[in-house]
Structure 1
């Protein structure tokens, strides 16, 4: 059976926590997934928890808790603080003899962090679950008028999603069909259009978008998410005895 170990990691912005799931002794290790959580909730989402099962298939899976959540805070830290903690955790994890290739990722805000930092940390690929392409549209009243919520214009975050590709890294986006932050079709269109205002430059890496049932939290059954990730990983770290396609 796979093993589980929890490791506390000091960072310059607070104490982080890594839950490390390793394949059973004697199992050939195929690679490592390091995954971060979103901006809400104090418990691991069902999709991230289910992905730890890939340890039984040869992958080391690490779930990283950001310092703000370890400290029991209810509001996520600002992006620069998240990136700092994440980067320092990855540096510390290098001492744990993690097998390559290294896939970094996470869900929602955690996916954004991974996209922003993947190239600098020597990752091979990025897994983005429920990537928050843009804030949801404001709710409307019965008369059809938009209800102000203090949310600024719905600026796209596709520039973050494209960063790994510009460095030659492949990206898998797993998106709920009813995700209010942008369903798969919106993510595909944004990727094709490119980053607003950026100098045109073809991405070397491939951004693949897979649709699964549900909204931003996906459905009650995480199986479609795990199946999509497993199929994608086969192209990055094939099982022993299988040729890379």
Structure 2
């Protein structure tokens, strides 16, 4: 694996991509951060460390507001604009790109995947609703992604526990993997049966296996399949 940092000019400002490049890569997994933190999130770091060995290049994306040192995230439309602006850099290696992210970054990936021609969507800690406000559901964004989607959700995530999600067949198909006892940042209590390291292993194993299935399946943008349109 090799690592490099690339600055990308976008309409809202300068974005930054930290590439963790696999040898003989088959896919690019692009991961955006949430509204309350950056690419130092434990799940993003774990995926960047684990997946290149499986032939997956991981691109950790910092939105312009974060690069500029601001403490408050930009509005959703601005986040989408930044993501669209840096997409050509993500597609430059000539490989299928899986759009992903955690929390707010997952929402961006869902909203933009189909128009950008993403091969699939990875939604980490998808914020199904604000804490304590289940009536303000964002399920429509998830179900409307229009691409094969994997949701990885903590069992005690205040933004939406796994059992709160709509049935995968209700308006749009997706797969959901639960990280037992994980909160919105996938932190687990010390008293939990699984350690923090084991819980991160649930994430990296599930995502790695899903991406390998995706890479082996012919389809638009998939290796061995028809080209994206």
For normalisation by structure 2, the TM-score amounts to: 0.84
Could you report, residue by residue, the CA deviation over 1:220-243 in whole angstroms, capped at 9, with x for unpaired residues? 33111111101211210149xxxx
Q: What SS does structure 1 have at the residue aligned with 2:37?
A: coil
Could you report, residue by residue, the CA deviation over 1:86-112 in whole angstroms, capped at 9, with x for unpaired residues? 0111123333x2422x21110000000
Q: Residues 43, 51 of structure 1: CA spacing in aligned structure 2 closer, same or farther, 3 A cutoff?
A: closer
C-alpha distance in structure 1 between counterparts of 2:55 and 2:102, whole Å: 22
Structure 1 partner of 2:190 = none
Structure 2 partner of 1:15 = 14
Structure 1 partner of 2:41 = 45
Tell me how far 1:9 sits from its aligned partner. Answer: 0.4
C-alpha distance in structure 2 between counterparts of 1:156 and 1:31, whole Å: 31
Q: Tell whether 2:207 aligns with 1:211.
A: no
Which aligned pairs between 1:121-140 and structure 2 lie closer than 5 A?
121-137=116-132
Which of 82, 91, 94 is the equivalent residue of 2:91? 94
Q: Tell whether 2:158 aligns with 1:180.
A: yes
Structure 2 partner of 1:60 = 57
Q: What SS does structure 2 have at the residue aligned with 1:89?
A: helix
Structure 1 partner of 2:221 = none
Q: Tell whether 2:30 aligns with 1:34.
A: yes
Q: Mark the runs of 5 or more structure 1 residues left unpaired by the alignment.
A: 139-152, 195-201, 240-245
Which of 72, 75, 78 is the equivalent residue of 2:75? 78
CA contact (8 A) 1:175 1:209 kept: yes
Q: Mark the runs of 5 or more structure 2 residues left unpaired by the alignment.
A: 188-195, 218-229
CA contact (8 A) 2:104 2:127 kept: yes
Structure 2 partner of 1:161 = 142
User: Number of residue pairs matched?
Assistant: 205
Tell me how far 1:207 sits from its aligned partner. Answer: 0.6
RMSD across aligned C-alpha pairs, in angstroms? 1.8
Structure 1 partner of 2:4 = 5
